[in-house]
């Protein structure tokens, strides 16, 4: 039988309730007992569990405070990966925070904790799924990446469940929006896995699509180009997936600057001219006066490069 105790303490004229605090740690050894505790208790703090599991400071869930209108504030879910491995998902509903705990079996009914992972949460609820690369199971978690005024990205993290711990072996941007205000070059990005292979070596190929928009205040926005890339990540000796430039259509620097980093200073005008030359050339050849005027102003402040000279010549010949 689960035991629970409550203590009411009068503090500075207020009533503070501490319930089910220390008892949580005694359920950490069993994933099933832990999940049952979470589902049958409504007012507790997670710190005793983190201490019992000896997880680092990056693992956090807000306190479970009883819920709202009969709905518990915290929940648990157990997902069986294989007979000797399972994942416990703990969630604090109002904050959308989640923690993934991995347990491995040592025999009938005997389990040991073997890793924790907590995705960053701000604007949206994390998502997860399970997949396989050859015979290897992977936990794939999508969480918040960059976050701020006009900026939000989703990061897809691939966790190899045949390795120790729950550290991702691959992370990439699956969705992003970067809107500079009051002016600048904005981006919208999509990224998704298009192929996985294990022969002769483990590789994951990600397709990226990026759309650029010129922003001049709230009312003036112009589409200024789109580009697609296929980026191949090859597994190295350490077990991590690293970008394989000879097999990819974008360099490591380009992926970092345009698909992974956000804000006003992630790439300069020269890098943008080279990366988006095809899109800017279409504007230079086109008849839409507003983006052409934007491009003319933009080229007036750009460095003198091969790409800027090419675009100026196209602009001059298509007047």
The answer to whether the CB of 78 falls within 8 A of the CB of 88 is yes
Burial 237-274 (b: 16+ CB within 10 A, else e): eeeebebbeeebebeeebbebbbbebeeebbebebbbe
Is the backbone of residue 96 left (phi > 0), alpha (psi -120 to 50) or beta?
A: left
Q: What is the DSSP letter of 28?
A: T
Q: Is the pLDDT of residue 298 over 90?
A: yes
**Residues 154, 175 contacting (CB under 8 angstroms):** yes
Helix (H), strand (E) at residue 114: strand 110-117
Task: Determine the pLDDT at residue 261.
Answer: 96
Quickly state the pLDDT bin for 66 (edges 50, 70, 90).
confident
Each residue's pLDDT tens digit, 110-136? 999 999 999 999 999 999 999 999 889
Q: What range does the domain containing 260 cover?
A: 125-267
Secondary structure class of 35 (helix, strand, coil): helix
Q: Are 190 and 165 in contact (CB under 8 A)?
A: no
262/273 same-domain check? no
pLDDT tens string 260-288: 999 878 999 999 999 999 999 999 999 99
Same-domain check for residues 258 and 129 = yes
Q: Are residues 135 and 230 in the same domain?
A: yes
| Domain-terminating residue out of 118, 141, 164 | 118
298 versus 8: the higher-pLDDT residue is 298
Residues 229 and 312 in one domain: no
295 and 177 share a domain?
no
Claim to verify: residue 31 and residue 107 sit in the same structural domain: yes
How does pLDDT run across 32-54, given as a tens digit for each residue?
999 999 999 988 999 999 999 99
Reported confidence tier of residue 223, pLDDT bands at 50, 70, 90? very high
Alpha helices of the chain — where are they, by DSSP H?
Answer: 31-40, 47-53, 252-254, 269-275, 277-285, 289-301, 306-317
> By the 8 A CB rule, do 258 and 276 touch?
no
End of a domain among 226, 247, 267?
Answer: 267
- Confidence grade of residue 20 (pLDDT, cut at 50, 70, 90): very low
Q: What percent of the chain has pLDDT over 70?
A: 92
Report the domain count for the chain: 3
Is residue 67 very low, low, confident or very high in pLDDT (cuts 50, 70, 90)?
A: low
Main-chain phi, psi angles of 272, to 5 degrees:
-65, -40
Residues 130 and 107 occupy one common structural domain: no
CA distance 116 to 311: 51
pLDDT at 295: 96
Same domain, 262 and 129: yes
Of 75, 91, 118, the last residue of a domain is: 118
Look at 16-30, 173-187, 296-310 and tell me which has the smallest mean pLDDT.
16-30
User: Is the domain of 171 the same as that of 233?
Assistant: yes
Are residue 132 and residue 238 in the same domain, yes or no? yes
Q: How far is CA 278 from CA 123, 177, 268, 281, in A?
A: 34, 21, 17, 5
Q: Are residues 140 and 99 in the same domain?
A: no
* Euclidean distance between CA atoms 211 and 12, whole angstroms: 57
Shared domain check, 278 and 255: no
């Amino acid at each position: 039988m689960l035991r629970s105790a409550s203590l009411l303490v009068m503090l500075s004229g207020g009533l503070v309730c501490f319930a089910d605090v220390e008892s949580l740690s005694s359920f950490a050894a069993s994933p099933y007992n832990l999940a049952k505790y979470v589902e049958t208790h409504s007012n507790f703090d997670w710190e005793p569990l983190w201490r019992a599991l000896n997880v680092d400071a990056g693992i956090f869930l807000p306190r479970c405070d009883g819920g709202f209108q009969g709905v518990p504030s915290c929940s648990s879910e157990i997902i069986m990966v294989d007979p000797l491995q399972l994942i416990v998902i703990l969630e604090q509903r109002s904050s959308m925070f989640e923690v993934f705990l991995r347990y491995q079996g040592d025999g009938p009914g005997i389990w040991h904790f073997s890793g924790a992972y907590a995705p960053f949460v701000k604007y949206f609820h994390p998502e997860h799924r399970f997949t396989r690369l050859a015979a290897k199971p992977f936990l794939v978690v999508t969480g918040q990446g960059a976050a701020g005024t006009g900026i939000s990205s989703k990061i897809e993290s691939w966790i190899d469940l045949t390795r120790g711990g729950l550290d991702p072996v691959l992370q990439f941007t699956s969705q992003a929006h970067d809107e500079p205000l009051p002016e600048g070059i904005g981006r919208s990005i999509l990224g998704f896995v298009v192929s996985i292979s294990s022969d002769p070596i483990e590789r994951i190929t990600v397709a990226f699509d990026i759309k650029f928009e010129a922003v001049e205040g709230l009312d003036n926005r112009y589409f200024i180009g789109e580009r697609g890339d296929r980026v191949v990540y090859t597994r190295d000796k350490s077990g991590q997936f690293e970008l394989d430039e000879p097999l990819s259509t974008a360099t490591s620097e380009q992926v970092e600057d345009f698909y992974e980093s956000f804000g006003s200073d992630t790439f300069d005008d020269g890098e943008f001219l080279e990366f988006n030359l095809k899109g800017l050339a279409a504007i230079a050849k086109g008849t839409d006066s507003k983006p052409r005027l934007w491009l003319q102003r933009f080229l007036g402040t750009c460095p003198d490069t091969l790409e800027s000279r090419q675009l100026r010549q196209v602009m001059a010949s298509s007047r």
